[in-house]
Chains A and B, each alone.
Chain A
Amino acid sequence: MESSEAITRLLREAGAGDEEAAHRLLPLVYDELREIAHRHLRKERVGHTLNTTALVHEAWIRVAGQDRTVWQNRLHFYAVASTAMRRVLLNYAEKRRAQKRGGNAPHVPLEEVEEILGEREAEEIEALDEALNRLKAFNPRGEAVVVYRFFGGLTHDEIADLLGTSTVTVRRSWSSARSWLRREVRVTLGFEPELGVPQAEGGGR
């Protein structure tokens, strides 16, 4: 709970315009998410794929439950949580690939990782992460929009608020960045990516 309190405090500071606070949030939220994910997996092993929504919600509730005023700064939490979530997922994806390749003994058992990500999803996550890194070099706004929306579940309006731009711009950025990313991931993997595709959800695994 200590980290929740720290997050609460940093969120308030970030809400008050403290940039530094926003940076210091990330590792805390990341640890929080990992811890929750780990606990979830230990507890609900059988036949459950990790519900990432529940994971972030739980992290959020542990933070927001400390102090209701945090709700006002929830966009900062979203922003930080989406970045943290990207890292958590990448971490699992890498482990999964390492295990498959027979690499170093992981400290996370295979079954656990399998419950979070299917094999194909793990590949797509890695490819997406790599493409996002490249996108960011020339299109930082597009990268932020995608991260906030895909990993954080923010709406266009909220993203516009966070980035200080218009909703129209966000919608356009989303559309062009997504097409660019799709092309890059497809070319890298050699197949049509299905990450986040509505029909693939559930059925793809």
Chain B
Amino acid sequence: MTAASRMTPERWATVEALFWQALELPEGRRASLLERTRETDPGLATEVETLLDEHRNDSGFLENPVVGRLPDPGFLSEGESIGPYRLIRPLGRGGMGEVHLAVRETDGVRQHVALKIIRRDLDSREVLERFRRERRILASLVHPSIARLIHVDSADDGRPYLVMEYVEGVPITAWIREREAGPAERIRLFQRVCTAVSHAHQRLVVHGDIKPANVLVTPDGAPKLVDFGIAALLHGEAEGEGGGTASGSEELRPLTPEYASPEQRRGEALGLASDVYSLGVLLHVVLTGRQPGAGASLPRDLEAIVGKALAPDPDHRYGTAAALADDLQRHLDGLPVQARPATPGYVVSRFARRNRFGVGAGAAFIILLTAFSVVTAFQSRRIQEESDRVARERDQALEVRAFLLEAFGTTGPDEATGDSVTARQLLDRRAAMLEEEYGGRPALRATMLDVLAQSYERLGLYAEAEPLAREALELREAALGPDDPDLPAAYNTLGWILHQVGNHAEAAPVLVQAVETGRRLHPEGHPILARALNDLGVNLEARGDYTAAEAAYLESLEMRRRLLDAGDVGTAVTASNLSVVRYRRADYPGAVATAREAHEAFSEALGPDHRRTMIVEGNLAAMQAAMGDWSGARLTYRDILERQRRLLGPRHPTVARTMTSLAGTIPAGEGDTEAETLLREALDIQAASLGPDHPTVAATSRLLAVTLSRTGRTDEARPHFERALQIQRSVLGPRHQEVGETLALLAASLRAGGNLEQGVSVYREAVAVRAEALGPDHVATARTEVALANVLLATGQVDEAAERLQRSWRVLEPALPPEHLFAQEARTEWARLHVLRGETARADSVLQEAERLLTPDQGEQLVGRMLRELRQEVDARASR
């Protein structure tokens, strides 16, 4: 019927060639081509002519294939529905899956969202589980620069999907290009990105995939981060983008290699520092348009800032995204930036800052005692080492540990009390998750409990920390048995929390258990055992058992020196603790030697100007003072003061505290004006920085008043006493022990100024307050009563004085050794009473006893002077 039956490949080749040739001609010229052909080969011309007719009449035969484009596995097409959402158009496809603009219609309201569905080969139940667990936390990220997570669910085929706020914007790099933004504008935009990241970090959410495609800028110029927390959730499951070669499918690859931190590229757990690294890359790209190392040059301080963010070791980077933004601000303000080459000391100092340590603040003669516990370092190191057991579990544990510890560590919960509510809510949430999450895995669950307990402890939430630590311990004992290597640390954590609560007696046996288990499991010694010994020492010291405390510190110190690097901070901590307990035992030379060693170690590891270094230095000064080396102590305090002024600024409260310590080392009569100047300035600083009604202001006011009184300026002292009293009464309460102390000092000042009447009434009040605060039979109450008796005698109120003396003597005599200063003061007043009553013989016998017991120290003090005066009087009367 047609030429088809006769068609051969050769013939077809001719037909086809002519057909194509004709097709390329305008319609009008096709006829002449066919005419020419018809002359030589009419069959060919007819064949091609019919094909051309067919072509002309064709309205699209076979144009639409019976099947559409095959998708990359898992890719969806528009019009498909996922849950209640209908896909409108794809927004992007990447390593994790695909993102679509989707719409949901409810009651006629159209909500446009970005719907992210996880790549098919990632759709394990576990990923969905992780999404479900974290969705509340992700949904809690509410920040104008963070696209909100709206919903998490799984599609009919089981793949998890996330629904996020749809952001109409372009990647930050494209925005900068289109807008031709200047350097300062770029930096400010980038700072807003940092702020958003920081907001998430405070809530322990790591982005994990910061790159231009995830940092969009809306048409009005506002940055908006998308995909927060998603990459971190997928981490451990995701393969590289475009990955998929047959080899190494187990290997973990980052989602976006150019922006991934070295630890991320190694497949390690994501921490906040990974985001800081990615921000560093982004900053470089934002500033120069190129990747770091691609040959673009930057101003020096920006180069330093980028360099610090990109430090290979996470500990060398900016601690937070906010710190990075701050440094950029310093650059914009023309100030020197904080970025500097990483040094080992800097790393340790970052760690050190995270550890809480108590500081015993005080005025004159009060040594700054510190007790440390180094909890986190060794434990995380151990966890890292115990690799093979359950690698997956370890990764998760490290992830959470990093989340918790990093976030709190860099802010330092003791400094960031404002954030502690948020932090606490997070912890509560995590604690609630523990049961369902790790119910079947006791080892991991115990570790998580431990981490949570330590985190609560850092926030000072001991009531929350304790049951968790207890549960961790019980879990280990029950499920993992007596040989669980983490058992000593678990005892230690619980014991230390109990100690921190002030429950020293209950803490003791637990801390002893930590040491004993440690000894059994690590007969050759171990950092965990060394830490347990240190913490036990702190507890023993608090309970007044200085000898045992010293032994514990010594053993811990020996172990730490043997096992750890020279310059280890924990070793220095124990040395410092040892020096303090030696000081308490009045072993001053031993205390000074150990304190010097600690000072050297801190100085080496943390730098000479670190807080810890200076605290040990202050301890040294107090020890020198205790040894009678007042000028040595003053020199040390002056040195510390000078450095603190330089480092902290002249009006920092720490500077003020050192000034009061220094003033306290200046003995009466020597340099009183210097002491006065120091105290007045300290007072001024404290009132300004701590507020005018702070108890520290009261303490310094009182010290200033005492110093003024010492030089006879009792009238000038008066208003400072009054101020101290007013603050203490309102802040501490009218019956507080400090109020009693101040009243007693005020009374003494009044007496010294000759104002006896008022002296009597203030002393009476002081005794009454002390009796209430400390009890009527307390030696301090009794001593004040003796002082009251003295003034009563001076004003002729002999009978009341006698009553007072009898009462106080009943307290003092059995409580104190006979030669004690307070007892000697009481004898002096007895003698005076007898003299005034004309009972010379009785006065003489009391004086004889006092003189027999007099120590050389007392001889030089007021009590010695008074005894000598009374002796003269008695001798004179006897000779009459």
Residues of A within 8 A of B (CB): 52-53, 55-57, 60-61, 64-65, 68-72, 74, 77-78, 81-82, 85, 89, 128, 134, 137-139, 146, 149-153, 172-173, 175-176, 178-187, 192-199, 201
Q: Is the CB of B50 within 8 A of A183?
A: yes
Q: Is the CB of A61 within 8 A of B74?
A: yes
With A65-B121, A81-B67, A183-B54 already in contact, 6 other A-B pairs whose C-beta atoms are closer than 8 Å: A138-B11, A138-B12, A172-B16, A172-B20, A184-B2, A187-B2
Q: What are 12 A-B residue pairs whose CB atoms fall within 8 Å in the complex?
A: A61-B71, A61-B73, A61-B74, A70-B73, A137-B7, A138-B7, A138-B9, A139-B7, A139-B12, A175-B20, A182-B62, A195-B61
Residues of B within 8 Å of A186, CB to CB, are 54
CB proximity of B249 to chain A, nearest CB, Å: 8
Contacting A at CB under 8 A, from B47-65, are 50-52, 54-55, 57-65
Distance in angstroms between the alpha carbons of A48 and B244 in the assembled complex: 37
Which residue of the partner chain, among B2, B66, B120, contacts A151 with CB atoms under 8 Å? Answer: B66
A-B complex: 6 closest residue pairs judged by Cβ atoms: A53-B68, A64-B73, A153-B65, A196-B62, A179-B54, A56-B67
Given the contacts A172-B16, A182-B58, A197 and B70 also touching, CB distance less than 8 Å: no
CB proximity of B157 to chain A, nearest CB, Å: 8
Distance in angstroms between the alpha carbons of A142 and B2 in the assembled complex: 18
Q: Is the CB of A196 within 8 A of B63?
A: yes
Chain B positions 1 through 32: 1 when the CB is less than 8 Å from some CB of chain A, otherwise 0: 11010011101100110011001000000000
Q: Is the CB of A68 within 8 A of B68?
A: no
B72 located at the interface, meaning its Cβ lies under 8 Å from any Cβ of chain A in the complex: yes
Residues of A within 8 Å of B64, CB to CB, are 196-198, 201
B879 located at the interface, meaning its Cβ lies under 8 Å from any Cβ of chain A in the complex: no
Q: Is the CB of A134 within 8 A of B4?
A: yes
Residues of B within 8 A of A (CB): 1-2, 4, 7-9, 11-12, 15-16, 19-20, 23, 50-52, 54-55, 57-74, 120-121, 244-246
Residues of A within 8 Å of B23, CB to CB, are 175
Q: Is the CB of A182 within 8 A of B67?
A: no
By CB atoms of chain B within 10 A, which of A64, A68, A77 has the most?
Answer: A68
Which residue of the partner chain, among A53, A180, A183, contacts B67 with CB atoms under 8 Å? Answer: A53
What residue in chain B is nearest A139 (Cβ atoms)?
B12
Q: Is the CB of B59 within 8 A of A197?
A: yes
Distance in angstroms between the alpha carbons of A180 and B63 in the assembled complex: 14
Residues of A within 8 Å of B72, CB to CB, are 71
What residue in chain A is nearest B20 (Cβ atoms)?
A172
Residues of A within 8 Å of B245, CB to CB, are 69
CB proximity of A139 to chain B, nearest CB, Å: 5
Given the contacts A151-B67, A152-B65, A176 and B51 also touching, CB distance less than 8 Å: yes
Residues of B within 8 Å of A153, CB to CB, are 65-70
CB proximity of B14 to chain A, nearest CB, Å: 11
What residue in chain B is nearest A82 (Cβ atoms)?
B67
Distance in angstroms between the alpha carbons of A72 and B244 in the assembled complex: 9
What residue in chain A is nearest B61 (Cβ atoms)?
A182
Given the contacts A139-B9, A181-B61, A195-B61, A68 and B55 also touching, CB distance less than 8 Å: no
Distance in angstroms between the alpha carbons of A64 and B236 in the assembled complex: 22
By CB atoms of chain A within 10 A, which of B8, B65, B69 has the most?
Answer: B65
Residues of B within 8 Å of A53, CB to CB, are 66-68
Residues of A within 8 Å of B244, CB to CB, are 68-69, 71-72
Q: Is the CB of B59 within 8 A of A195?
A: no
CB proximity of B24 to chain A, nearest CB, Å: 10
Residues of B within 8 Å of A183, CB to CB, are 2, 50-51, 54
Q: Is the CB of A179 within 8 A of B19?
A: yes
Distance in angstroms between the alpha carbons of A20 and B573 in the assembled complex: 74
Given the contacts A60-B71, A68-B121, A138-B12, A179 and B65 also touching, CB distance less than 8 Å: no
Q: Is the CB of A52 within 8 A of B19?
A: no
What residue in chain A is nearest B121 (Cβ atoms)?
A68
Q: Is the CB of A198 within 8 A of B63?
A: yes
Distance in angstroms between the alpha carbons of A81 and B69 in the assembled complex: 12
Q: Is the CB of A176 within 8 A of B70?
A: no
Q: Is the CB of B60 within 8 A of A197?
A: yes
Residues of B within 8 Å of A77, CB to CB, are 70
Given the contacts A72-B244, A179-B51, A199 and B65 also touching, CB distance less than 8 Å: no
Distance in angstroms between the alpha carbons of A138 and B339 in the assembled complex: 75
Q: Is the CB of B60 within 8 A of A56?
A: no
Residues of B within 8 Å of A193, CB to CB, are 61
Which residue of the partner chain, among B7, B16, B66, B73, contacts A89 with CB atoms under 8 Å? Answer: B66
CB proximity of A171 to chain B, nearest CB, Å: 10
Q: Is the CB of A57 within 8 A of B71?
A: yes
Which residue of the partner chain, among A52, A71, A173, A178, contacts B61 with CB atoms under 8 Å? Answer: A178
CB proximity of B4 to chain A, nearest CB, Å: 6
